[in-house]
Amino acid sequence: MGRAKRILAGIGVGLVVVIAIGWVGWQVNGYLDFTRAATRYQDVSIGMSQDEVHYRRGAPAMVWNDGKSHQLYRLGDDPASIEKLPSGASVNSFNHWNYLDKPQDFFSSHMIFMDYERGKLTSVTCSDEHDLYCPPRYGITTLTTEDELIHALGRPTSSKLTPSMTKDISYDDLGATFVLDRGEVFSIALDGRPSQWAVFKRYWTHPMH
């Protein structure tokens, strides 16, 4: 009888060890996924060169620079109201790129914006007004509600209404900004480089995993 108890006790300890190892592995894998989300979005990452983004994403549909006119230039066909790229210019001559879900649909609700400074990527934004076109960041997708966002990621760095009556919710420590309309996310951005410590702290102190 004593031997049987020892065997059962050994089996119990073994099961506990296996479960503990599995739990640790699951948590580590979740954390690694979380850290990857902190630095990459839409297959690009902050600091990439314009050529590298062009290689990974292809040519943008529209480009423009900052300035009073905010003139858009197109790389595709219609609409005629958007001018073709000036002679001698390349996409690298512009610090804002726009990708569309359908390359010729210049009025698509699915858009990806790339912003550059001195030829290096500074932000990536995916906007979608209708469905789940944009890949999630930190488990947040388009159509995630404001309450769900706060519950998942905790208190934001800032939360403010815009003149167009949307709301910008930013998490500087995660390099993330979410834009909401009528209480739901419709735009997701990677717009900074969070520190590893900030990502580690945010992951282990909030119930997103």
pLDDT digits (tens, 9 = 90+) for 147-176: 999 988 889 999 999 999 999 999 998 899
**With contact defined as beta carbons under 8 Å apart, do 142 and 136 qualify?**
no
Instruction: Tell me the average pLDDT across 139-145.
Output: 90
The sign of the torsion formed by the CA atoms of 139, 142, 146, 148 equals: negative
Taking the domains of the chain in order of start, what are their residue ranges? 1-41+129-209, 44-124
**With contact defined as beta carbons under 8 Å apart, do 161 and 167 qualify?**
yes
**With contact defined as beta carbons under 8 Å apart, do 190 and 135 qualify?**
no
CA distances from 141 to 29, 31, 42, 111, 146 (A): 20, 18, 13, 15, 11
Tell me which of 129 and 173 has the higher pLDDT: 173
pLDDT number for residue 203: 75
Give percent of the chain above pLDDT 70.
Answer: 70
Instruction: Tell me the average pLDDT across 55-64.
Output: 88
Q: Where are the beta strands (DSSP E) in 118-207?
A: 120-128, 158-161, 167-171, 176-181, 184-190
Q: What is the pLDDT of residues 25-53, one digit of tens each?
A: 656 676 777 776 677 888 899 999 999 99
- Letter for the amino acid at 136? P
d(CA 162, CA 168): 7
Q: Band of the pLDDT at 188, cuts 50, 70, 90?
A: very high
Token pair, residue 25, equals 């592995």
For residue 209, give every residue at least 6 positions away whose Cβ sits within 8 Å of its Cβ, in sequence order, or none.
27, 30, 31, 34, 203
d(CA 12, CA 149): 40
Q: Where are the alpha helices (H) located in the chain, listed in sequence order?
A: 2-39, 50-57, 146-153, 196-205
